[in-house]
Amino acid sequence: MIEIKELSKKYSGLEVLRNINLSINNHGIVAVLGPNGSGKTTLLKSLLGMVIPQQGSMMLDGEPVLGQWQYRNKIAYLPQIASFPQNLRVAELIRMIKNLRPGNTREAALIDRFNLQPHLTKKLGTLSGGTRQKVNIVLALMFESPLIILDEPSTGLDPVALIALKELLAEEKAMGRMILFTTHIMNLVEEIADRVIFILEGNIWFDGTVNLLLEKTAQSSLEKAIAVLLKEAHV
């Protein structure tokens, strides 16, 4: 369970999050949406402890997040842009991450799922963007964490890998895990999300199901519904 109360964050006087109140107490897949600069990444990074808000509180499973670090062992995180030493080989990177974090892992199954066996001995600097993203997915999800946070997980993935990712997330959901993800691919949201949280200018403008958003905006697709929200916000 995630409980966020009155969360605010400023950068050089610019208010990025404005008294955010949010409760996520059910397992499933939640899409956190918004245009660039809306505050969605800041919100997720605050939950991860990578950004320190000036005001508010955050709780994970009833325990405070701010000023703590142990809770991060419950979280799997896929950053939008992951940077690793380019001269490391894929297998070396996986071993290194395993040594840095406690817990059982399932990297072998994920390597098979994303067909990474031919790339294990290759250096990261030689990989295509799509293959690096597959490696990032393996690193993020091999620890079987109860909370999964994915920032633009479909970036660079080919259709086969994207299907594998969607199947994997469906399996994680079935095992009772909570998944938060950001994306600009509205078709992906329509296909897998149980809940949509739309953030704009540091405020939550919508929180509910895809169907509810379509009904509220009288639109036939999520892409058009989001466009309506943006227009309403700037009227």
Please give the residue range of the domain that contains residue 36.
2-233
Tokens at 63, concatenated: 């325990």
User: Are the C-beta atoms of 121 and 89 separated by less than 8 Å?
Assistant: yes
Tokens at 61, concatenated: 């499973």
* Domain count across the chain: 1
pLDDT band at 81 (very low <50, low <70, confident <90, very high): confident
Q: 231 or 166, which is more confident? A: 166
Label residue 79 exposed, middle or buried (CB < 10 Å: 0-12, 13-18, 19+). middle
pLDDT band at 58 (very low <50, low <70, confident <90, very high): very high
Q: How many CB atoms lie under 10 A from the CB of residue 100?
A: 7
Q: 116 or 26, which is more confident? A: 116
Phi, psi angles (nearest 5°) of residue 210 = -60, -45
Q: What's the mean pLDDT in 6-13?
A: 90
What CATH number is associated with residue 41?
3.40.50.300
pTM: 0.92
pLDDT band at 144 (very low <50, low <70, confident <90, very high): confident
Cα separation of 23 and 206, whole Å?
A: 13
pLDDT value, residue 38: 86
Secondary structure element (H or E) that encloses residue 108, with its range: helix 107-113
Cα separation of 114 and 120, whole Å?
A: 12
Summary mean pLDDT of the chain: 91
Cα separation of 131 and 133, whole Å?
A: 5
State whether the Cα torsion 8-136-197-24 is positive or negative. Answer: negative
Q: Would the pLDDT of 14 be above 70?
A: yes
Rounded to the nearest angstrom, the gap between the alpha carbon of residue 43 and the centroid of all alpha carbons in its chain is 11
Rounded to the nearest angstrom, the gap between the alpha carbon of residue 79 and the centroid of all alpha carbons in its chain is 7
Give residue-wise pLDDT tens across range 168-216: 999 999 999 999 999 989 999 999 999 999 999 899 999 999 999 999 9
